[in-house]
Amino acid sequence: PRIVVLASGEGSNFEAIVEAVERGAIAARVVALISNRPRAGALARAAHHGIPTRIVDHTGYDGREAFDAALAAAIDAQRPDLVVLAGFMRILTPEFVDRYLGRMLNIHPSLLPRYPGLDTHARALADGAAEHGASIHFVTRELDGGPVVLQGRIAVLADDTPARLAARVQAVEHRLYPEAIAWFVSGRLRLDGDRATLDGNPL
């Protein structure tokens, strides 16, 4: 199976996925890394692993639809079985989401449905949340709202800062994403209607 990863930032999740493929934990190939930012750290990580990169710079397009069309063309050229959003910081149009429904995953740094949107760590701390974590979900038209596939939980510590909490959440993310992706490429994980199923059982 062919995986395309989309990233806008550092790409630590992307690299965790690539390393899982390299050690045989994911039975698939990452065929390309696509970024909307020419200076994304993920691009250097892809080069280090010999993975082709494509840049679809959103500042070069007049409107969300034009950008999404260019992005879809870049993705489809790779003939992916799975599209992985790994810190891809763009809101995607409904038409774009429909195109990849059931074969696009996202990672969100909270225990969804808690804290959809941005600044999740600061919000969890401000609320005095006792636990926090990360969620892998299928991408649907609802922002950060698709069926949850897998979650990782951590305790929030009394002296936590957003940065320290984020670091512990990222460690969870780097274990979580390869596991969910391995399930998908082996045919165990599917989107059935509005539910995610593993081996046919609703998650």
Among the listed residues 62, 58, 57, 47, the one whose alpha carbon sits nearest the alpha carbon of residue 15: 47
Binding mask 109-128 for ligand GRF (x = CB under 6 A): x-------------------
Number of residues that bind ligand GRF (CB under 6 A): 15
Contact track, ligand GRF, 19-48, x by CB under 6 A: ------------------------------
Min separation Cβ 104 and ligand GRF, Å: 14
- 12 lines the binding site for ligand GRF (CB under 6 A): yes
* Residue at 185: amino acid letter: V
DSSP sequence for 3-31: EEEEESS--HHHHHHHHHHHTTSSSSEEE
- β-bridge pairing 148-155 and 2-7: unpaired
In contact, 8 and 15? CB cutoff 8 Å: no
Q: Is residue 53 close enough to count as binding ligand GRF by CB under 6 A?
A: no
Tokens coding 80:
């992916």
Dihedral angle of Cα 159, 162, 163, 169, to the nearest 10 degrees? 100
Is residue 81 close enough to count as binding ligand GRF by CB under 6 A?
Answer: no
Does 86 bind ligand GRF (CB under 6 A)? Our answer is: yes
Closest listed residue to residue 64, CA positions, set 96, 26, 98: 96
Q: Is 144 in the site for ligand GRF (CB under 6 A)?
A: no
Q: Please pick, from the candidates 4, 5, 7, 72, the single residue that binds ligand GRF as defined by CB under 6 A.
A: 7
Active site residues: 108
- Using CB under 6 A as the criterion, which residues of the chain lie in contact with ligand GRF when the complex forms? 7, 9-14, 86-87, 107-109, 134, 170, 173
Annotated binding residues, written as ranges, equal: 11-13, 64, 89-92, 106
